[in-house]
Chain A
Amino acid sequence: MALIELKQVAYQAGDQEILQDVSFAVEEGDYLTLTGPSGSGKSTTLKLIAGLISPNKGEIFYQGQNLDNLDLVQYRRQVSYCFQQPTLFDETVKDNLALPFAIRKQEFDEKRAQEALKQVDLPADYLDKKITTLSGGEKQRVALIRNLLFRPEVLLLDEVTTGLDEESKQIVHQLIARVHQEGTTIVQVTHDQEELAASKQLLHMEKGGVLK
């Protein structure tokens, strides 16, 4: 049984048909990259898998269960979507890293948050740092570990390294590689050559459909 399976999925936003008849499967442990030109429906496909939107036609399955029958709030804690240009909340880095704990009604674990910061090459005292003082690369790193504090089954990455400086990009690449090695399935959208090379499986999309 595939971990995630899309069957003849179509999605329309207003009058605009974005996806038509998309079908593919993601196996557990996969490292899949969706490629293709802008407007081919890659990000929409990721958002559909993340349960942020629902298809107009077709079905999406997770561990054999139709997403329509799942509690999407719980599901999104397992299948985590990371945005291209993430927004950090409130005032400090701590406010952001506390959110995944608050969502799960758990006490904030400062040590765990500091460990996570180290994984993306940020010092422990960054917890109290104001988000307005962070660089774009630092913001993306904080956003990424916000998704990974509670390790998801599937990590959906929507061009997360676009616009990052080389150092931040490398740190993010290393983190994604480590997370994948530890068993998290990765589905990403990217144009980055290094990320395409790291991917085990490529799926080319064009005009709202999957070509190969």
Chain B
Amino acid sequence: MKSMAVSDLSLILSFALVLVSVAISWKEKLGLTKDIFYSVARAIVQLVIVGYVLKFIMQVNNAILTLLMTLFIIFNAAWNANKRDPNPNRQLWQSIVALLIGTYITLGVLLLTQTVKLKPMQIIPITGMIAGNEMVAMGLCYKALATGFHDQRQQVLEKIALGADVKTASMTILRRSIKTAMQPTIDSAKTVGLVSLPGMMSGLIFAGVDPVYAIKYQIMVTFMLLSATGLGAVIAGYLSYRNYFNKRSQLREEE
């Protein structure tokens, strides 16, 4: 493992890679320079804090502390997923519920099948992977719902006028939104290993683990992400389509 350690000097020198994107932004007049420095600074601060927090949690090896850490990850993912919802009537609790259920069901299955063990060094990174992917899927679902209710507003109105309940009136949009949210995970499962060597597998190979052993983990991650993104998108979709209607089953005016 020692051979893998990145020295401080190496890290500082690798900062040159950031300057590449800054140079592109400057040359092409993209106006991204400020954003690049801000995101890099944020990434460094966040990772340093997380590094020390994880080190502490792993040393303590306490179940409650591990659970609290997973809740922290889930809440942050929910907060960010909710921010991606263009609907002004969005509800944070819906993202929290979707992420809690999606993450803990997936994690529960992995624990019950003893694919992972109840150890912080396994639970926390896995939770991060699950919640991160769910967050992206939910964001896609929310955006697709917003597009659907905008583009198909007249259709929804007509179904409502015919006496459809809000669920029936929204079903076409809802199904399409859930599909949109799940599609990237399904597509990436099709190309995994052929186009990209994903994080989990790459990390293990990087750490010197036999690639044949590493793929087992990657297969587990593929299964896990299919479940997590599916659950996250379905729950978020079914909870949030109602935000487009008021309590009187009337389609809200667009803002």
Contact = CB atoms under 8 A, between A and B. Distances in A.
Contacts of B157: 52, 83
A81 B158 CA distance: 8
Band of interface residues on B = 10 to 19
Interface in A1-44: 13-14
Contact of A51 (B154, B165, B250): B250
Interface stretch (A70-78, A168-176, A189-197): A70-78
Contacts of B162: 76-77, 80, 99-100, 103, 146-147
Given A51-B248, A87-B154, A76 B161 contact: yes
A102 interface: yes
B168 A52 contact: no
Interface in B151-185: 154-155, 157-165, 168, 172
A87 B158 contact: yes
Band of interface residues on A = 20 to 34
A76 B160 contact: yes
Given A13-B253, A89-B155, A72 B248 contact: yes
Interface string B239-255: 00000000011110100
A50 interface: yes
20 contacts: A13-B253, A14-B253, A51-B250, A52-B157, A52-B250, A54-B250, A72-B249, A73-B165, A73-B249, A74-B163, A76-B161, A76-B163, A80-B161, A80-B162, A83-B161, A89-B158, A99-B164, A102-B168, A103-B164, A146-B162
